[in-house]
Amino acid sequence: MPKPQARPVPAAEARPPSHLFYLSSLRRPLVDRAEGIYFWTKDGRRFIDGSSGPMVANIGHSNRNVLDAMKRQMDKTTFAYRLHFENEPAEELARQLARKLPEGMDRIFFVSGGSEATESCIKLARQWAVATGQPKRWKVIARFPSYHGGTLGSLAVTGDDALAETFTPLMQVMPTVPAPAAWRDRDNLSMEQRGIRYADMLEEKIVAEGPESVLAFIMEPIGGAATAALVAPDSYYPRIREICDRYGILLIHDEVMSGAGRTGKFLGGDHWNCRPDIVALSKGLGSGYAPLGALAAPMRLVEPLLASGGFQHGHTYAGNPLACAAGLAVLSEMDRLDLIANAAAMGDVLIGELRGLAKRFPFMADVRGKGLLLGVEMVADPETLKPIDQTRRATQRLLDLAYARGLIIYGRKVKGGVDGDNFMVAPPMIITREQIGEMISIIGDSLEALAAELDLPVEG
Ligand SMILES: Cc1ncc(COP(=O)(O)O)c(C=O)c1O
């Protein structure tokens, strides 16, 4: 039996053993600094942040105005507990957010991350049901695949077998419906008919579960890592709203990744004028400057909770002045630099370039997304959609090939965490055309190398 290999650490980076542990034991270069769309490591390498980390750094790194706003806040106070004091940054951020959200979504509850945000949405929904005399409603239907977070509550509504399996006995696992991967379907229906069919699967599930037991439906309006930026046919969105209304079920939009401007609108759901009941936000809201998340809901949902003693939920750091000052400055930079418009315009350029690459590399079977939240699904055979042999680890190989060339892109298995290859390109919203050109050239080289390694089809 071969001896286990030591973890590879390039000589130039020889470092003491790490006490940290994560999902993978892979060592990475030590980061030195970041600016705009770039990172520099201690050993002098430069990386393009082609995925904004995990789709976080929406306004780019080291924005001077955000740093200055945070420093000004730090000189006053970094922490004031919300049960002891109100603070101006939290008040003002809630006000600004309410202005950007769909009409009536004007009650805000701050948290420190995405899992806290989605879990808070679920708890708000449940407490609302109890407070309004509907205590039998508790099931939250989710989509499969999907990602809503890593805490037990948010994991219970996450459609990802690889992540959930070990923890299933600890959770109340919730019912799921298929995510609307209509592009894969081989039938005679139009895309719009397929959109209706996927939405109707929610109604079938509600009926099967017993409508009186169903509390909410949670979905990412534009998919995140679990589906590589999956977008449903247009017909899906209004039909989902209709179905939720018919059965008195709350519609929760998880905009943790798709929100805060990344897709070319403030919310992903704004592309369809969606009217969710509750919205979860995080990632781009703090843009990596501070851990920040939020849930937004209308007064009609919040009022019954307040009347019954308040929201029975909270986290110590929620609404702290430093994170909120960062969030406020992030929103202000987004407006000052017109970044949402830039995300829409540069998203068009980037998706066009990726579709160009797909002509050369037909194993890029679907290129999709909105604005700067874009994903590419890869298959062995574009005709039959036969997946790439999983032992070849195509996604990870491509990510490694790009990383070795100085570009960070993102990817996770798109079939419930166990199968399916893809990559996601989601650079900061400040990106320029020239920088997109630089990224595309590295992606092209990396795909070329991947195709050669795995014997994937290449045109011309
Ligand atoms: C759509 C969505 N919801 C929730 C989360 C969980 O966020 P966090 O990792 O900040 O807890 C994520 C993180 O990737 C996400 O993409």
Per residue in 24-83, pLDDT (tens digit) is: 777 899 999 999 999 999 999 999 999 999 999 999 999 999 999 999 999 999 999 999
Residue 444's pLDDT band, with cuts at 50, 70 and 90, is: very high
Q: By three-state DSSP, how is residue 222 classified? A: strand
Q: What is the mean pLDDT of residues 359-376?
A: 98
Residue 16's pLDDT band, with cuts at 50, 70 and 90, is: confident
Residue 246's pLDDT band, with cuts at 50, 70 and 90, is: very high
As a whole number of angstroms, the distance between CA 58 and CA 343 comes to 9
Phi, psi values for residue 284, rounded to 5°: -60, -20
Residue nearest to atom 16 of ligand 1 (CA): 257
Q: Which of 56, 112, 118 to mutate to test the pocket of ligand 1 (most atoms within 8 A of CB)?
A: 118
269: number of CA atoms within 13 Å, CB side?
25
pLDDT for 419-437, tens place per residue?
889 999 999 999 999 999 9
Q: What is the mean pLDDT of residues 258-272?
A: 98
pLDDT confidence of residue 10: 52
State whether the beta carbon of 115 lies less than 6 angstroms from ligand 1: yes
State whether the beta carbon of 282 lies less than 6 angstroms from ligand 1: yes
User: Which residues are within 8 A (CB) of 136 and not within 5 positions of it... i.e. 6 or more apart?
Assistant: 212, 213
Question: Smallest Cα–Cα separation from 118: which of 317, 286, 249, 313?
Answer: 313
Alpha carbon of 94 to those of 91, 98, 264, 298, 321: distances in Å? 5, 6, 21, 13, 12
pLDDT at 1 over 70: no
pLDDT for 318-367, tens place per residue?
999 999 999 999 999 999 999 999 999 999 999 999 999 999 999 999 99
As a whole number of angstroms, the distance between CA 200 and CA 196 comes to 6
Question: Smallest Cα–Cα separation from 325: which of 52, 76, 100, 107?
Answer: 76
Same fold, 31-59+338-454 and 65-336: no
Residue nearest to atom 7 of ligand 1 (CA): 114
Phi, psi values for residue 365, rounded to 5°: -75, -30
For Cα atoms 155, 250, 168, give the angle at the middle one, nearest 5 degrees: 20
Report the atom number in ligand 1 closest to the C-alpha of 225.
16
Alpha carbon of 403 to those of 136, 165, 272: distances in Å? 50, 30, 35
As a whole number of angstroms, the distance between CA 384 and CA 370 comes to 26
Please state which of the four CATH numbers 1.10.287.70, 3.30.200.210, 3.10.450.50, 3.40.640.10 is assigned to the domain occupying 65-336: 3.40.640.10
Pairing of strands 278-281, 31-35: unpaired
Tell me the residue type at 230: L
Structure tokens at 58: 């929406």
As a whole number of angstroms, the distance between CA 240 and CA 289 comes to 35
Q: What is the mean pLDDT of residues 210-215?
A: 98
Domain boundaries of the chain, sorted by first residue:
31-59+338-454, 65-336
State whether the beta carbon of 148 lies less than 6 angstroms from ligand 1: yes
Alpha carbon of 258 to those of 282, 284, 303, 399: distances in Å? 9, 9, 28, 22
pLDDT for 92-103, tens place per residue?
999 999 999 999
pLDDT for 298-328, tens place per residue?
999 999 999 999 999 999 999 999 999 999 9
Q: Rounded to the nearest whole angstrom, what is the distance from the C-alpha of residue 316 to the centroid of ligand 1?
A: 19
pLDDT confidence of residue 436: 98
Whether the full predicted model's pTM is greater than 0.85, yes or no, is yes
Please state which of the four CATH numbers 3.55.50.30, 3.90.1150.10, 3.20.20.70, 3.30.70.260 is assigned to the domain occupying 31-59+338-454: 3.90.1150.10
Residue nearest to atom 9 of ligand 1 (CA): 114
State whether the beta carbon of 52 lies less than 6 angstroms from ligand 1: no
Start-to-end CA distance of the chain, whole Å, equals 44
Percent of the chain with pLDDT over 90: 91
Residue 8's pLDDT band, with cuts at 50, 70 and 90, is: very low
Residue 182's pLDDT band, with cuts at 50, 70 and 90, is: very high
Residue 4's pLDDT band, with cuts at 50, 70 and 90, is: very low
As a whole number of angstroms, the distance between CA 235 and CA 135 comes to 32
